[in-house]
A and B are shown apart, each in its own frame.
Chain A
Amino acid sequence: MAAIVCSTAVFANDSTKNDISLRYGIGHLGKQDLIFSPFVHNTWSAVNIGMRYERKAKLHHYADLSFGTYQPILVPSYTYDDDQRTAPHYFILVNLTYGLGKALRLSNPKATLSVGGNAGINLQPSVYSFGSFSSLGYFAFIGVGAWTKFSYRFSDHHRLDAGLNLPLAGLTARSPYLINDDEYIENTYSHKGFRTLMAFLGDGQFRTLNSVQQADLHVQYTYDINRHWGIGAAYEWQFLHASQPASLIAYRNIFYLTGAFKF
């Protein structure tokens, strides 16, 4: 799912049109992937970072990159075989999105609304650790969707943004029903990371909302320090459900601190 945390300034009263922002936050992940486990894996993580470029001129563009890692474990780590210890699973979440839209005029001059379409990549490699044995898993989505963003400026310094991103259709690749079938093994035959990734993606199938549902909501408050700099706090909620070859359900809550430079 494309990460759309609009950690940027609004352009309502600004002469600046471009905005680059960074964000860092604490997140909570809940994930149940029946390919690997019938259990829900919950954990908090302090590794959630993102970067965004946004330009609002005649058209409204943005490019957004986010990265997060999570390490859930069902029960606290324990010792076996005298000196071996169990380890948590390891989930990586990477999103890259480009969006293009149009700002609509609203009757309230303090408010703006943009709508548009986007294209994005959502990569979620994972390592499930089962004591002395571990399995590599993956979810990948390369597709298109729709987005909207509403901004409201309370004053020269205070602004609130809210947005929604809905990936609609695209190439979806997931681990096989029992993790490593022959096609999976064939895909790893090159023993080179990038070629393996491409092979996994090559086995993907075109999916629509029928079998993959994703959503990404965000709310952000921004304080504009001056014409060029702004800081803020944001909340983001992500949701993912894929039904094939076995159910995958995940959600993520992230609380960000943001900083933006406008020019």
Chain B
Amino acid sequence: MRSFFLLFLCITLLGSCKKVFFREEPANDPEAIFEDLWKNFNENYGPTEERNIDWAALYQAYRPQINAGSDEQTLYQVITGMLSVLNDGHVGLIAPNRDRFNSNYILHHSIGDELFDLKLIKTYLEPGYQTGEDDAYVYGKIQGTDIGYIYFDYIGDNFFVLNDFLDKNLLSKGIIIDLRHNQGGDFTYCFSEIGRLTNQERLVFRSRTKNGPGRNDFTSWYSWHIQPKGSYFDKPIVILTDRYTISAGERSVMAFKTLPNVTIMGDTTCGAHSTMIGRELANGWYYTFATQNTLMYDDISYEGKGITPDVRVVNSSFEMLNGIDRTLQEAIASF
């Protein structure tokens, strides 16, 4: 009996001894937190070259601003200051009792956010338009026209309604797919659901992901295509974009851009084309960052630049206040 008791005791002690098993964790002090965050970006941030980031220079500039006695406010300011240099919509920071920080200047300061208004857009639609939960999608007919309209709030399972939308517009003059303020998500939902819009396989983009701490540690390039699926829909299509069209939303724009019957209209997209991942810091803050390089089908990276529209139209605050969505109106007029 005594031997069993000893065995039990040994096992319990073994299991409770954290230091026996685990790698050393980053310490919970201002200097260690900065070091941990900087190291992770230096080793794992994907678009370092596209965004022309010099991590050593950033370290030299920001590390001296932190010392063992730095308070939380100072740490927050220094970290967000460094991350602001990236101007990357995929880079963000969450800390207690603060608004989310976004490295992208436009997103963080909500510049031009008011130039898109879904309530206003609904006034352009015939009554009886369809909406998803929390306006995940909105679709219907533009009043007094034979033009279909669909809005996607993000890229996800809301794209499953696209087939129904196309069925309802088989006799339309054309359709408008509104990706303004699209928050991104999972681009594969778009790619798998737009098979009816192409009659041939089309290369959309290539991407590769960091797979090690070295500057050139990346996976091989991976090609993403769209494939024909279902009855071909060959009507004219206008895609609407703005500065808030981001990430999977932009990859979706790339897919639509491969189609010969598509016109991109609106403003340049955000320019954050990678996938992103999250991380946590010792003090419980969370941050996100990008891990990939992306080349559009023309073999050019638009990371940090965004995809420019074929026809640039940007609403003004004055127009919005007066109930006019000029971008949408020009899209309607283009058919």
Contact = CB atoms under 8 A, between A and B. Distances in A.
Interface of A: 28, 30, 32, 34, 37-40, 42, 74-76, 78-82, 86, 128-135, 152, 154, 160, 162, 176-183, 185-186, 188-189, 191, 217, 219, 235, 237, 239, 241, 245, 247, 249, 251-253
A45 B95 CA distance: 27
A191 B192 contact: yes
A217 to B, nearest CB: 6
A105 B96 CA distance: 63
Contacts of B280: 37, 39, 74, 130
Given A78-B96, A237-B15, A133 B286 contact: yes
Contacts of B173: none
B80 interface: no
Contacts of B22: 30, 32, 40, 249
Contacts of B7: 162, 219
B186 interface: yes
Given A40-B25, A181-B275, 8 more contacts: A37-B279, A74-B280, A80-B96, A130-B94, A132-B100, A180-B275, A189-B191, A219-B11
B11 A182 contact: no
A126 B280 CA distance: 16
B4 interface: yes
A80 B11 contact: no
A188 B94 contact: no
Contacts of A189: 188, 191-192
Q: Which of A28, A38, A42, A219 has the most CB of B within 10 A?
A: A38
User: Interface on chain B toward A: helix, strand, loop, or mixed SS?
Assistant: mixed
A213 B279 CA distance: 26
Given A80-B96, A80-B97, A176 B157 contact: no
A149 B4 CA distance: 13
A80 B15 contact: no
A128 B278 contact: yes
Contacts of A28: 15
Contacts of A251: 15, 21
Please give me the 5 A-B residue pairs with the lowest Cβ-Cβ distance, nearest first: A130-B278, A75-B284, A182-B222, A131-B94, A181-B209
Contact of B277 (A74, A78, A135, A253): A135
Contact of A74 (B284, B287, B291): B284
Given A80-B95, A181-B209, A219 B278 contact: no
Contacts of A129: 278
15 contacts: A30-B15, A30-B21, A37-B279, A74-B284, A78-B284, A80-B98, A81-B99, A160-B4, A179-B277, A181-B211, A189-B188, A219-B11, A245-B211, A249-B22, A251-B21
A37 B284 CA distance: 12
Contacts of A178: 44, 209-211, 277, 291
A78 to B, nearest CB: 4
B287 A183 contact: no
B189 interface: yes
Contact of B11 (A34, A188, A235): A235
B219 interface: yes
A191 B189 contact: yes
Contact of B278 (A133, A177, A217): A133
Contacts of A180: 209, 275, 277, 291
B8 interface: yes
A57 B251 CA distance: 61
Contact of A86 (B18, B94, B283): B94
B110 interface: no
Contacts of A40: 18, 22, 25
B207 interface: yes
A182 B219 contact: yes
Given A132-B94, A191-B192, A249 B23 contact: yes
B227 to A, nearest CB: 11
B25, B26, B208 pick with most chain A CB within 10 angstroms: B25
A221 B97 CA distance: 50
Contacts of B14: 237
B246 to A, nearest CB: 13
B23 A32 contact: yes
A78 B97 CA distance: 7
Contacts of B96: 78-80
Most chain B CB atoms below 10 A, which of A76, A178, A235, A237: A178
Contacts of B210: 177-178
Contact of B36 (A38, A181, A183): A38
Contacts of A239: 21
A252 B96 CA distance: 31
Interface string B90-131: 001011111110000000000000000000000000000000
B81 interface: no
A188 B188 contact: yes
B188 A131 contact: no
A80 B94 CA distance: 7
Contacts of A82: 99
B303 to A, nearest CB: 16
